[in-house]
């Protein structure tokens, strides 16, 4: 299959960090982008979640607890009961 060039612009710090990461896992930058592009084409989606909000450690811990049903309270009979539990 014929090859073509693609030029990408990114800030220098990101490029340096990406180069380092690729080197650590034994891939060239070109191979990493090819893997990404082939995955996008095959799956017809970006192969990872894109979000603007990153939960902090406290929120992540609470989310994990909720998924595991740890420290889950309720149901509550009233708003007052809920607020009392929240403020405890």
The whole-number pLDDT of residue 53 equals: 83
Residues 46 and 72 in one domain: no
Q: How far apart are CA 55 and CA 63, in angstroms?
A: 9
Residues 25 and 67 in one domain: no
**What are the pLDDT digits (tens) for 44-84?**
999 998 888 888 999 998 888 888 878 777 778 899 988 98
Domain count, the chain: 2
Domain hosting residue 8, numbered range: 1-50
Residues 1 and 43 in one domain: yes
How large is the C-alpha radius of gyration of the chain?
Answer: 22
Q: Record the pTM.
A: 0.56
**What are the pLDDT digits (tens) for 15-54?**
999 999 999 999 999 999 999 999 999 999 999 988 888 8
Q: How far apart are CA 59 and CA 61, in angstroms?
A: 5
Residues 7 and 35 in one domain: yes
């Amino acid at each position: 299959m014929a090859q073509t060039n693609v030029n990408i612009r990114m800030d220098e710090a990101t490029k340096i960090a990406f180069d380092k990461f690729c080197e650590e896992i034994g891939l060239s930058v070109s191979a990493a982008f090819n893997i990404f592009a082939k995955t996008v084409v095959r799956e017809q989606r970006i192969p990872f979640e894109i979000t603007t909000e990153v939960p902090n450690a406290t929120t992540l811990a609470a989310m994990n607890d909720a998924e595991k049903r740890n420290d889950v309270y309720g149901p509550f009979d009233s708003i007052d009961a809920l607020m009392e539990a929240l403020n405890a």
